[in-house]
Structure 1
């Protein structure tokens, strides 16, 4: 399905470009080079430490004679080297969030720890100078430590340059405007960053891995949004607030907590929330998200339990890359009361009584993408009641999610328009996709792998003769992949006769989510990339799968 180019597109793209003008600068190539230099040196340092842990530090741990030996055994032991590697592992995540100063502090801490080890090792060697060694120079602890410390010092210098570039570019920004290519016949959309006057950058907005590539680093995440939430900016205009503590005090939110951070949202600027480290947050009451707020869990392993996130009567919200589970009496994420421009992306969610993600009561322009959603019964409800006529204007994009082992509602849509595109369905129970009261559901290029039941919709033989069976919804399948005997009963007139009314009403071609060129690769792709992505290996695998590396 193709979309006509909207007259509003230039205005929308201009607004998006203006928003990120502090990020796309003439210094972008140098910034990227410095970023890659830091990562390369950190990786080489970790390799050196691993090499020494295997062949060098064991000797220290076993040779604790004298004060020097005991000191070296403590400062240079394999557990201590492992701790230093963990510190270095956080650097890439911090750079992903454009937190160069924090990355520099981590590198300095690792360098100081290695210097302490080096000093302790020198004392030990002085105490045992008469002993012979059969190791070559390259295998000795002194040599390895010297190389590792030199690498970290060089990385620290690159980070200092990176910080200076960030300050200079934000003070006097020069735009690099996105050059958008409209979707081809298969709706694959590529965006390149190009300087004014020509020159390509090679930045691809693929819909899934863009969020973890250089294209979407830091607040540039907004450039990766697709579907009806296209144009969402979250808290990109506001300050970044770093959550440093996992406790929750609803009556008196403490500085450093997620509840305190969310309270900074709203207004014209809002807040962009990140996390200093991995944590499990046990909410004691519902957490109400304000307008112009981004909760960005990249670079850490964030799990939210206990109570749901509520997006009610607000606009311009991004919820990205964390787990939210264990809701005893509610959904996990509830979008309602006329909320608009909401992007829920790379969320892992399961274990909730009522369901997982709900969009109801006049909420619209929502994209739910790249999530891993598994629940015993209900999954995703779009439109809460047959009587909620206000939902006739609801527009939701459901894109590249993995609906796993749920009974029903993946989604269930009432009244509005639901574009269900490029998702993976496995082992549904009662039905996968359903609708009532004049909903329009366009199922495009999804992969259905039947398990407990073969039919995708609630249809069954004789359904039309059942008094409570509502057949007013229009449900169409277009280029879906039906596996393991899957069947898809379509509701409404033949698609060819209603194609114009079923075309997703996006404001521009740039909003149309791109399709994976080979739909048969979709199941493995979504299994690799859906849900919260925490570990560098998973990020790298997803980026490689998407062809962005």
Structure 2
């Protein structure tokens, strides 16, 4: 997966386009409007529950949303979003301190990206806050290799990254991804891909993740809708840390989140990930998340469906589950929230897994272990944020997923 150090011929790129740049009228996808409508109906408008989220954008008890969604002038204050993060990824500033870059072209060229495309923006070396001039479907030909200090902000447009390769955050820092629909991602690779204005290199085959965080730090993924990718929806591996995954809406997928590369990769012991205010919806099977080695704070999420289990892990991860709502499936054999993988009971009983204030419905149960089995024990690391009561999870997660934001209106 690593980018080679082989330097190939350089390309001279024009300067970053100004925020007032005009949009282009011809998308690459043959019928993007139809795709946008279909996916929005399937993912974002699946129930009255989500439609009500737009009506209650203030005072929800969701600290991220209450930080910015009450502002009718959010479009003029976009970069303020960077100050609203919570959890282990709260210091991710993205492109807060840089210029605005407007995506006007839905096309993609992995080696010679045009100004106005998403790829051209994310590979620049300076901080950029990337927004979209119109609704679009972007079918990436190869992985989108994001440079440090970038924000991809989909508010104000219906933006779909779908039907091709998707997003890779590899050995970079300070990334924010907000308000994007990411679905139907495919494996790519065995091709040249540009990662900066002055370098491109050979990439081996990718896994087909929606968002792959590989050795990344200070990463925040918020208010995205993800479904139906070839491998994981969001994976964080190879020493990634300081990550927050919040307010996302995930549906129709098997292996949802992998956090930790392998049982033998000890560098992931330093991994710290906050999973907060997400809605794990219909058609999900397992890994919400699956954890290895590190410390994982799973707080105030709504689990309304799973096929095998919700939260699992191996290699002695610390899992702190607080204030979540778990609705077990009707099948008697799948009521357990947890799965201790790849170890005999005498080993996993020592792993520190706790459930505090979680709401268990339809027979759901959480198998605690290690220090988590004692309500009075102190965890080795402090919680990444304060949990709200599980009775508030419905209102906290009501607006999970990408939002229909319009200028001069509360989002």
Aligned mate of 1:294, from 127, 142, 151: 151
Q: Give the secondary-structure state (helix, strand or coil) at the position aligned to 2:391.
A: helix
Aligned mate of 1:346, from 211, 217, 223: 223
> How far apart are the structure 1 equivalents of 2:256 and 2:147?
24
Distance 1:332-1:471 versus aligned 2 partners, 3 A rule: farther
The answer as to whether partners of 1:440 and 1:502 remain within 8 angstroms in 2 is no
Distance 1:243-1:536 versus aligned 2 partners, 3 A rule: closer
Q: Are residues 1:361 and 2:252 paired?
A: no
Q: Are residues 1:519 and 2:390 paired?
A: yes
The answer as to whether partners of 2:294 and 2:318 remain within 8 angstroms in 1 is yes
The answer as to whether partners of 1:437 and 1:472 remain within 8 angstroms in 2 is no
Q: Choose between structure 1 and 2: higher helix proportion.
A: 1
Q: Give the secondary-structure state (helix, strand or coil) at the position aligned to 2:375.
A: helix
Q: Give the secondary-structure state (helix, strand or coil) at the position aligned to 1:407.
A: strand
Aligned mate of 2:382, from 487, 492, 503: 503
- Displacement after TM superposition at 1:489 (Å): 1.0
Q: Are residues 1:486 and 2:344 paired?
A: no
Q: Give the secondary-structure state (helix, strand or coil) at the position aligned to 1:358.
A: strand
Distance 1:464-1:222 versus aligned 2 partners, 3 A rule: closer
Distance 1:492-1:500 versus aligned 2 partners, 3 A rule: closer
RMSD value over aligned CA atoms? 2.7
Structure with greater Cα Rg: 1
> How far apart are the structure 2 equivalents of 1:366 and 1:471?
27
Distance 1:294-1:300 versus aligned 2 partners, 3 A rule: same
Gaps of 5+ in 2: 1-18, 24-58, 188-207
Structure 1 length as normaliser, TM-score? Answer: 0.56
Distance 1:288-1:294 versus aligned 2 partners, 3 A rule: same
Name the residue aligned to 2:45: none
Matches within 5 A, 1:128-167: none
- Displacement after TM superposition at 1:515 (Å): 4.1
> How far apart are the structure 2 equivalents of 1:361 and 1:502?
21
Gaps of 5+ in 1: 1-98, 107-201, 507-511, 544-549
Name the residue aligned to 1:236: 96
Q: Choose between structure 1 and 2: higher strand proportion.
A: 2
Cα offsets for 1:454-493 (capped at 9, x unmatched): 1101269xx98679x8555321101011112211111213
> How far apart are the structure 1 equivalents of 2:96 and 2:302?
31
Q: Which has the higher contact order (CA 8 A, sep 6+)?
A: 2
Matches within 5 A, 1:392-431: 392-404=269-281, 405-431=283-309
Across the two proteins, how many residue pairs are aligned to each other?
A: 327
Aligned mate of 2:351, from 437, 458, 473: 473
Matches within 5 A, 1:197-236: 206-214=63-71, 217-236=77-96
Distance 1:236-1:205 versus aligned 2 partners, 3 A rule: farther
Name the residue aligned to 1:432: 310
> How far apart are the structure 2 equivalents of 1:313 and 1:336?
6
The answer as to whether partners of 1:302 and 1:322 remain within 8 angstroms in 2 is yes
Cα offsets for 1:17-43 (capped at 9, x unmatched): xxxxxxxxxxxxxxxxxxxxxxxxxxx
Q: Give the secondary-structure state (helix, strand or coil) at the position aligned to 1:390.
A: helix
Q: Are residues 1:529 and 2:399 paired?
A: yes
Distance 1:220-1:535 versus aligned 2 partners, 3 A rule: closer
- Displacement after TM superposition at 1:371 (Å): 0.3
> How far apart are the structure 2 equivalents of 1:218 and 1:270?
14
Name the residue aligned to 1:333: 211
Q: Are residues 1:313 and 2:174 paired?
A: no
Cα offsets for 1:478-536 (capped at 9, x unmatched): 101111221111121333353242532x5xxxxx2x544x532413542x310111245
Distance 1:473-1:375 versus aligned 2 partners, 3 A rule: farther
Q: Give the secondary-structure state (helix, strand or coil) at the position aligned to 1:240.
A: strand
Matches within 5 A, 1:59-208: 206-208=63-65
Structure 2 length as normaliser, TM-score? Answer: 0.74
Q: Give the secondary-structure state (helix, strand or coil) at the position aligned to 1:341.
A: strand
